[in-house]
A and B are shown apart, each in its own frame.
Chain A
């Protein structure tokens, strides 16, 4: 493991560089080389998403990206999220997570927030179902996702109560007579 590679990665708007082992994971680069500890490691299998960061604006699981693969690119972690929002105010997603109690122990939160930011960038007007399926790669053990989903809907400028009602009613439609035989009206 004596071969080392030089990487230059812009992290939260600031240039960083280091000679790293080629096998160094991006998440360890962020946590141990750069010293930004908000990004967490929750599994070994790219299943939980606790390590989610934005790489050139798109969400990636930083436990499955090598630091050398991020060379000459830019990374945003939770610590840098404030810089993406106008006026240095807390990011709308951050405000929504607090207002809706979308976090408890906080361990999934940095990854969840960044995954949600990325989701809304792609789907600015999601339904509850869109949010649930869009966050499928990020696991939370505390909240049952109920308030995370509300927070994301709220950050999208939607009324979470109305969206949850709409989803419940669509379920009610599914369990209405004839739907399950495919004979329900459109």
Chain B
């Protein structure tokens, strides 16, 4: 029987549940003995000139070994993300001006942990405040510049030079539009950023850090510090969540490495949550203008999406992500005419990077809002409008107007399954009854249809599988789990070929000396790239074992097969004949293969979600009563892990719709810099989720797997937002920006009531 597709509990868990995982700040590695603690002095102002820095008092504080300012580092400002305006360089420690609250200005190294903040208090920095630019539209006017020498706040443009199609909506009976906000979110992994660095006598630096991609972090640290990459060794201990914000190095990691060099001591750093909420990459942050047109029969003909996106103060991956939004703009729909563009501007805020979904949730939220507006305008049920516009199953592979080839999909079927599981028709009747009675608790239904891109960008991944003479197996992977369960899942894929029980299979990742090549875990890529690579490597190892066994068993290779019960090569159809185990073969000669799987394409998981919410008409409070999710990512390797990914994604998606938003005041002061202020959901705010199974394989890999890590987030946000608006639709409400807080909902109700008077 195949282990693939079965519910297997995680091999990671016994240690995690008894001794705890080992995160970067937990390391007791002897190389870090005597490490100094780094405390960063961060800017309290969003935009200001630095007129003086005095570190003398801090240098005299107990336990202080060194205090550095930017002038002491000997490092030039650096372009963190080459895909954006190359004039927008980030200093390692700000010297002339600061551009966001939380920007590092001085670095304090102390013998003991508690001495750091004490000494940091004594660093005196004089600032001359400048007007801060927080609002995206204000930033786009270039009236206040973050980088005066660059002369513009525009960090990147995607399709901005294309002439907008003037005749886009020709022939449309109905055209509706809206300006909507896809708000800034904090990734907020429970483990904040942490790094530790030590230089060896060989002139190499070892950097331990919390990250999603060791090899990428190595390359960035090397590039930023001007080192040959062979001189940087990155090791990832266990990682306490990433959600996109731990893709590649952060400048602080390289700074830790550089300070270890300057101080000639190991250095370690683990940030506080309030540092994390201003220093770690944040996500989303788009202002979108959507326009949709079509016929009263429900057919959509044209769609326009104009994006103004926030890069934060120093452009990072967020300067590119609106390109993903454009690519996925038409969603699951067969729309004749599409017009999109995105402009990305810098503001005096924390930099924007990837956050679960990274550019695609913004696309789905926009098109789904547009579909709802269109449905409301023509008076058709929103689920019906979607079904009459989705791409038909016989059109795959389908080249979308976003310029990508959707591999496989059954979009209408997914919608139907979700509607059926939710009991949509009955819920609509209940909604009407409540409206009729004038109930205080209104019912809202939201339907989303989504398709997303997984494994976009890095289509290949490497894997190595080795059987040892004691019968144990080591798998090396270039993916980089931080909660996803690769140790279990990759062991299952190897076990499928070898028959070795998963308890005897060790999966290793995140050490650039051991695994020099790899693209990490992001963009829901791991299973369809790294997992398939492990499966392929184990298959190749079987072939190698057969070659060697053929001689020993004096049999034709074609007559050999694997006896999975015994993890051995046997002669087919000859019970009792000679056989040889993988372990015995490994005793004779090292039994190991390296391979690369290259799918050459991304895949396109899809699904449909239905949200049922209750809205208290008097307080504006929204309660999610049900969330029904059909998430089709092809065949399922391990339903326990698969559903776990969906649960987490759905929770984050609901939370964007209802609770979460990073807020700045007009001077750029963050108002949500702790977990006491940020709308992080607890168990009490969420329901259990109704998951519905559907599996449509992709042709791009032999196992048919697509990615599922971000699907839940992408599908649930628009379903919930739509449900909140739907609850108030009879009052004339057409849109409420996220998060749909009680205040916003209450205001929408009041405004609608005034309009009705």
Assess whether B114 is in contact with A140, with CB atoms less than 8 Å apart: no
The answer on a CB contact under 8 Å between A104 and B612 is no
State whether A43 touches B675 (Cβ < 8 A).
Answer: yes
A133–B16 CB distance below 8 A: no
B482 within 8 A of A: yes
Would you give the shortest CB distance from B682 to chain A, in whole angstroms?
5
Question: Known: A38-B20, A44-B272, A145-B686. Contact between A180 and B441, CB under 8 A?
Answer: yes
| Chain A residues within an 8 Å CB radius of B612 | 175
Q: Which B residues are in CB contact (< 8 Å) with A145? A: 647, 651, 682-683, 686
Q: Which residues of A contact B433 (CB under 8 A)?
A: 177
Q: State A94–B19 Cα separation when bound (angstroms).
A: 11
- Residues of A106-151 contacting chain B, CB below 8 A: 106-110, 113, 128, 131-133, 135-149
Q: Within the complex, which residue of A37, A44, A45 is in contact with B26, where a contact is CB–CB below 8 Å?
A: A37
Q: For B437, list chain A residues within 8 Å (CB).
A: 181
Q: Number of residues in B with C-beta < 8 Å to the partner?
A: 73
Interface centre among B20, B241, B482, B647 (most CB of A within 10 A): B20
User: Once the chains bind, are A141 and B188 in contact (CB under 8 Å)?
Assistant: yes
Cβ-neighbour of A47 out of B189, B647, B674 (below 8 A): B674
A168-B273 contact, Cβ under 8 Å, with A23-B114, A131-B683, A144-B651: no
Per the bound structure, the CA–CA distance linking A138 and B684 in Å amounts to 10
Instruction: Return B21 CB to nearest CB of chain A, in Å.
Output: 4
Stretch at the interface among B6-14, B42-50, B446-454: B6-14
A47–B434 alpha-carbon span in the complex (Å): 37
Asked whether any CB of chain B lies closer than 8 Å to the CB of A6, the reply is no
CB neighbours of B680 from chain A (8 A): 47-48, 139, 141
A113 to B649, CA, bound (A): 22
Q: Interface 1/0s, chain A 6-29, versus B by CB < 8 A?
A: 000000000000000101100010
A140-B689 Cα distance, complex, nearest whole Å: 16
* Shortest Cβ gap from A126 to chain B (Å): 12
Docked pose: A140 CA to B16 CA in angstroms: 15
The total of Cβ contacts below 8 Å across the A-B interface reads 211
A78-B651 in contact (CB<8A):
no
CB contact between B430 and one of A47, A50, A177 (< 8 Å): that residue? A177
Q: Chain A at the B interface: mostly helix, strand, loop or mixed?
A: loop
Are B483 and A175 in contact, with the CB atoms below 8 A?
Answer: no
Of the four ranges (under 10, 10 to 19, 20 to 34, 35 or more), the interface on chain A belongs to 35 or more
Across the two chains, which residue of chain B brings its CB closest to A181? B439
One digit per residue, 1 when the CB lies within 8 angstroms of any chain B CB and 0 when it does not, for chain A 80-100 equals 011000000010001001110
Interface residues of A in 21-71 (CB under 8 A from B): 21, 23-24, 28, 31-32, 35, 37-48, 50
- B496: CB under 8 A from chain A? no
Is residue B625 contacting chain A, with contact meaning CB distance below 8 A?
A: yes
Report which of B22, B684, B688 forms a contact with A164, defined as CB distance below 8 A: B688
Question: Is B113 an interface position by the 8 A CB rule?
Answer: yes
Report B-chain residues with C-beta under 8 Å of the C-beta of A133. 683-684
- Whole-angstrom distance between the alpha carbons of A21 and B114 in the complex? 10
Interchain nearest-CB distance for A104 vs B (Å): 3
A162 at the interface (CB under 8 A from B): no
- Within 8 Å of chain B (Cβ to Cβ): is A159? no
Q: In angstroms, how far is the closest chain A Cβ from the Cβ of B689?
A: 6
List the 9 closest A-B pairs by CB distance, nearest first. A38-B20, A144-B651, A107-B240, A105-B483, A104-B483, A47-B675, A180-B441, A144-B647, A37-B26
Residues of A within 8 A of B (CB): 1, 21, 23-24, 28, 31-32, 35, 37-48, 50, 78-79, 81-82, 90, 94, 97-99, 101, 103-110, 113, 128, 131-133, 135-149, 164, 167-168, 171, 174-177, 180-181
29 A–B pairs (Cβ distance < 8 Å), ordered by A = A28-B114, A31-B26, A37-B26, A40-B191, A41-B25, A42-B675, A44-B273, A47-B680, A78-B19, A82-B18, A97-B17, A101-B643, A105-B189, A105-B190, A105-B191, A106-B12, A106-B238, A108-B190, A137-B682, A138-B683, A141-B189, A143-B648, A145-B647, A146-B689, A149-B688, A171-B625, A174-B625, A175-B625, A181-B439
Residues of B participating in the A interface, judged by any CB pair closer than 8 Å: 9-10, 12-14, 16-23, 25-26, 28, 62, 113-114, 118, 188-192, 238-241, 243, 272-274, 427, 430, 433-434, 437, 439-441, 443, 482-485, 612, 614, 625-626, 640-641, 643-644, 647-652, 674-676, 680, 682-684, 686-690, 712
